A and B are shown apart, each in its own frame.
Chain A
Amino acid sequence: MTTAKRHSNPFVGDGAGHTSPLKAAINYLLVCLLVIALFWVSLAMLGYTFDFSFVSQYRMRIAQGFLLTIEISAASLVASLALGTLVAAGRGSRILPLRYLCDLYVKLIRGTPLIMQIYLFFYIIGTAWGITDRVVAGILILSTFEAAYIAEIIRGSLLSIDETQRDAARAVGLTHAQTVRLVILPQMVARTLPALTGQFASIIKDSSLLSIIAVIEITQTMREISASNFKLFECYFLLGVLYLALTLPVAAIGRHFERRFDYAH
């Protein structure tokens, strides 16, 4: 191995687009088979057989839970984008209290686990301010949580745009508004979109924690079903498949954006 030349290192690829699609597909299939085989072997070692006969019995509840997960995730994406943009702007503000408020917000939210935020928000802030609807409270909590991360994404890409571009824009006679619209924004979109789609996948997964305040999204639905039929593994396996059905397409969209906006880097 030590005599191997660098390009023959199996862990360093040839760069993007070199592998033929057919070869990629075959190798990917091989890896999938490997993962399935590992899981299947583990099950065989336990002597446990999966029994999914309960799925048709509960299909309505599963469908409703799945839909609610999508609704909560979509609503949280919109709300957290709005809040995240405001916070990102606030962190660059000249008004110091506003700047520090946004800074503290990002630090507190990113520095604490979501499960703690859900409990405290729902039972203290939610109760005090009369937010009794669990779904609404769930969307608010999730949006508040994700907005801190989105603010960091937006702030990061804003800072990555070179200051000289503004100078150049001014030099060719663009107004401030024109600079933002024609120079800054297009680059911001290109730089944030791939990361934002990744964050959307996180939102979908994080929404599962809302089950602890009895929001009957897909995780809570599966917990309830497994509590009555004790098919814990089948329920959680199906749960994983359902989440993948959401997150894999989102990831594919993210990759599409990455390719589409490749010029930005």
Chain B
Amino acid sequence: MCHHNLADACDGKRTKEEDMTNSNSRSRTVRRARGHVASTLFVLLALASLVCASALTACAGSSSDSSSSASKSASGSSSKKTLVVAMELAYPPFETKTDSGEPDGVSVQFIKDFGEAYGYDVVIQNTAWDGLIPSLVTGQADCVISSMTITDERAQTVDFSEPYAVAQLAILANANSNISSIDDLNQPGKTVAVKTGSTGDTYATNNLTNATIVRLADESACVTEVSQGKADGFLYDQLTIYREQKSNSGTTKAVYIAFQDPEKWGIAVQKGNTELLGQLNEFIETSKTDGEYDKLTDKYLSEEKAAFDELGFKWFFDLS
């Protein structure tokens, strides 16, 4: 099977290999002993065609730079280029889905507006959080906009745009717990729930060394842990904590007292993709003044904006 597919790939070798397979099947009918030779030959041939395929990829390797950016300048002739955007559609109201399953949210609208402005056909790729950075590294996506905080560790693997939003971590605590600050969480016997790989995870790992840290795959599992009292607190951004506290008001309380510097969210691209990065930075800069951010706030976050103003928190898109 694999031998034939690969033979198709290397067109030049094809006829020669077919001749050899034909002669194999002929020899099989002659005597049984030869049948074994033939099957060994079959395997050897498959190996040979693999080597041939790897030689092919070596040629392709030199042009891999152009192929990975092919999605950006798709086939040249068509006027619109495709922009593959990876995000985890599990983080309302930033990355989520409509009831009918269409990608929706602040980030989705923001990147679609970017595509509109710069002539891209935006294709949203729903990717689990763990797979976002790897999808950039392997060139499966052109950029990631997924409420991702710019960190030094991440910046070693990918390049980040200028910040497009700022966020603060907050604590969702169990209603019956005595948690009123981050120090109350950092005690022996306290359990802190975090989403694996989130900045809450990083903060807890580095700073809450006295507490037990429970790392979970889903935000909803983290909230469940807190509302059931399995965990004493859940570290996540203010806005999510605000929303989750509202929907679990009987069992949880929110602690907003800031315990770290604001986190800046950026759009990630593959290392060295300066062309796309430049366009993204330009778009973020103009969004501050041309009403793009106001439009997004009105559409998705009007209630939260009112609450944030009342609580005296810095707004997400207040980048000053």
Contact = CB atoms under 8 A, between A and B. Distances in A.
A2 to B, nearest CB: 10
Given A3-B29, A33-B47, A212-B216, A47 B61 contact: yes
Interface string A15-44: 000000000000100110110011011001
B130 A132 contact: no
B43 A31 contact: yes
Interface stretch (B50-58, B253-261, B295-303): B50-58
B290 to A, nearest CB: 35
B124 interface: no
A263 interface: no
A27 B40 contact: yes
A230 interface: yes
Interface of B: 2, 25, 28-29, 32, 35, 38-40, 42-44, 46-47, 50-51, 53-54, 57-58, 60-61, 64, 130-131, 133-134, 137-139, 153-154, 157, 196-197, 201-202, 205, 214-218, 221, 224, 228, 230
Contacts of B202: 228
Given A44-B58, A123-B228, A233 B134 contact: yes
Nearest to A11: B39
Contacts of B214: 214
10 contacts: A10-B38, A38-B2, A41-B54, A48-B138, A127-B230, A213-B221, A223-B196, A223-B215, A228-B202, A230-B134
A44 B64 CA distance: 10
Given A44-B58, A45-B57, A5 B43 contact: no
Contacts of B25: 1, 4
Contacts, number: 102
A201 B153 CA distance: 37
Given A41-B57, A220-B215, A10 B196 contact: no
A44 B43 contact: no
Contacts of B138: 46, 48
B224 A10 contact: no
A223 B38 contact: no
Contact of B61 (A30, A44, A211): A44
Contacts of B130: 223, 226-227, 232
A214 B134 CA distance: 22
A37 B215 CA distance: 36
